[in-house]
Structure 1
Amino acid sequence: MTIKIDALYENNISPLLFWTNHNNTNNPHRSTQTNQHSLKTNQELGIQTPFARGLQLNLLSPVDEQRKSAETFINAGYAKHFGAHLAEFSPIILTVKDFFNNRILGAVGLRYADGQSLFSENYLSEPIESLLSEKTNQKIKRKQVIELSHFVVDKNTDVNVVFPMIGQFLKTLDVDWAVYTLSRPIKSAFQRLGIQLTHLQHAYADAIKVSKTNWGHYYDFKPAVYFSSILENMNA
């Protein structure tokens, strides 16, 4: 059974947890069935409990009790780097947390393209599936696309742990393409991790017609919309 993230809470399924060893961040435990995008349980993946490793990845819906702390964490990152204050967030936020020290290492928002508009589409001249189809020379459907947004890490070095964990989680989902609007610093961080980014469109402030967010000097960092193949790029 394929389960989307927003269905986890509707079906009373606990959030999926991943973790890794602090001393082996380049080789986190991961499923060997990365080509299958259906959501799997820890037992099916043959992974220990998160308490044994100390890092866990949590899925937070808008009503989750940990959601506010995740939004505060993201806002603190945007305030520090861009002087911005976000008033709107993705439907689901993933956090990577140091369980033993109660510290959030990183967070990212997720939004399925199927059935709703992506924030990144504000900057695009065509629907995301049309542009991806043109770029890849294959028929792409909206249900194959997921958007990652407001990516923040606590420390620069945390990106080396956070993104591989998020990447292996994305491979358990029934999606094939990741879309992002990335500022230049985040783009550089992704590229250092070996993520191949295909440029779609520059992101300009005047494309956002209605927003409660104060973007500060975010647009001074030349953000642009990119996409990646999840299967080929999200490798731990």
Structure 2
Amino acid sequence: MSQLLCSTANILGAIGHQDIKLRLSRRSDADRRLRTDMEQCVSRHFSNVYDAQITQFMPLLLGLEMQGEIVAVVGLRTADDEPLFLQQYLDAPIERLISAASTLAASTSDIIEVGNLVSTSPGMARLLIVALTHYLYCSEFKWVAFTGTPLLLNSFSRLTLSPVVLADADPIRLRDGASQWGSYYATKPKVMGGYIPEGYRQLQLSDVFARVSYTPLYLSVMVAEEANRDCA
């Protein structure tokens, strides 16, 4: 069953020898400093790049922290928990469109939406995508859905990842309008779907996890859960 893993102090992993930590923040977390830092990173990026005013954030934020500074963030929303933001762009339930585009079965419990992806550099964006792929694979999600700009899609292609196009992200479909998004929609973003097991396999084959020295700290949670199931 798909379920996001956690670990002590919301530190999910580490990358390389640059003191880069993978951190997770929930809306309900007592550590408001971490949540505020991540939200400010997102809003600052969208303001600087698109002149957008972002005030709503995804339920969970995953970020890279280097020497105490947040350098990349991505938001997470599970399809089982609440309606996906990107469903507004679609003519049919996302699981149906994914199944049609990929010929693989998909259910809402298999799908997680990512968004609010920002970084201080393209390199940090790629590191976050690597860590995100590993994390979602270990959490047993099958499909990731997101709205991607050409720049974001370039980060995926640099990592040999190939998500499929599901639809155009047409701002006219937004219930609350697009005024707060500035020039974001001028980039012609697309709604995309990616098969997580295949993305994980590609990164393994390319030895990316080893090359960036990615150390996940949530694997002990997986081992404990498997032991509990064995004893049940």
Measured against the shorter chain, the TM-score band is 0.7 to 0.9
Structure 2 counterpart of 1:55, one-letter code: I
Instruction: Please list, as runs of the form range in 1=range in 2, the aligned pairs for 1:96-175 lying within 5 A after superposition.
Output: 96-98=64-66, 101-175=67-141
Give how far 1:148 is off: 0.8
- Is 1:94 aligned to 2:89, yes or no? no
Give how far 1:13 is off: 6.4
CA deviation digits over 1:210-235, x for unaligned, max 9?
26971000000001100111111143
- Check whether the contact 2:26–2:61 (CA below 8 A) recurs between aligned residues: yes
Instruction: Please list, as runs of the form range in 1=range in 2, the aligned pairs for 1:1-236 lying within 5 A after superposition.
Output: 4-5=3-4, 14-22=9-17, 54-64=19-29, 65=32, 66-98=34-66, 101-210=67-176, 214-234=180-200, 235=203, 236=209
Q: Which moved more, 1:187-196 or 1:86-95?
A: 187-196
Could you tell me which runs of 5 or more consecutive residues in structure 1 were left unpaired when the two chains were aligned.
Answer: 23-52
TM-score w.r.t. length of structure 2? 0.79
Structure 1 counterpart of 2:28, one-letter code: V
- Check whether the contact 1:133–1:139 (CA below 8 A) recurs between aligned residues: yes
Q: Measure, in 2, the Cα distance between the counterparts of 1:141 and 1:14.
A: 31
CA deviation digits over 1:179-207, x for unaligned, max 9?
01011211222212211110000011111
Give how far 1:132 is off: 1.2
The structure that is helix-richer by fraction is: 2
Could you tell me which runs of 5 or more consecutive residues in structure 2 were left unpaired when the two chains were aligned.
Answer: 204-208, 210-232
Q: Measure, in 1, the Cα distance between the counterparts of 2:188 and 2:103.
A: 28
Q: Measure, in 2, the Cα distance between the counterparts of 1:165 and 1:228.
A: 15
Instruction: Among all aligned residue pairs of Structure 1 and Structure 2, give the percentage whose two residues are the same amino acid.
Output: 24
Structure 2 counterpart of 1:19, one-letter code: A
Aligned residues: 199
CA deviation digits over 1:89-143, x for unaligned, max 9?
1110001111xx2121210000101142111111000011111121222331100
TM-score w.r.t. length of structure 1? 0.78
Q: SS of 1:88's equivalent?
A: coil
Q: Measure, in 1, the Cα distance between the counterparts of 2:75 and 2:182.
A: 20
- Check whether the contact 1:122–1:208 (CA below 8 A) recurs between aligned residues: yes
Give how far 1:16 is off: 4.6
CA deviation digits over 1:8-45, x for unaligned, max 9?
5xxx96425211214xxxxxxxxxxxxxxxxxxxxxxx
Structure 1 counterpart of 2:80, one-letter code: D
Q: CA RMSD in A?
A: 2.1
The structure that is strand-richer by fraction is: 2
Give how far 1:85 is off: 1.3
Q: SS of 2:83's equivalent?
A: coil
Q: SS of 2:181's equivalent?
A: coil
Q: Which moved more, 1:145-154 or 1:130-139?
A: 130-139
Structure 2 counterpart of 1:183, one-letter code: T
Q: Measure, in 2, the Cα distance between the counterparts of 1:105 and 1:147.
A: 21
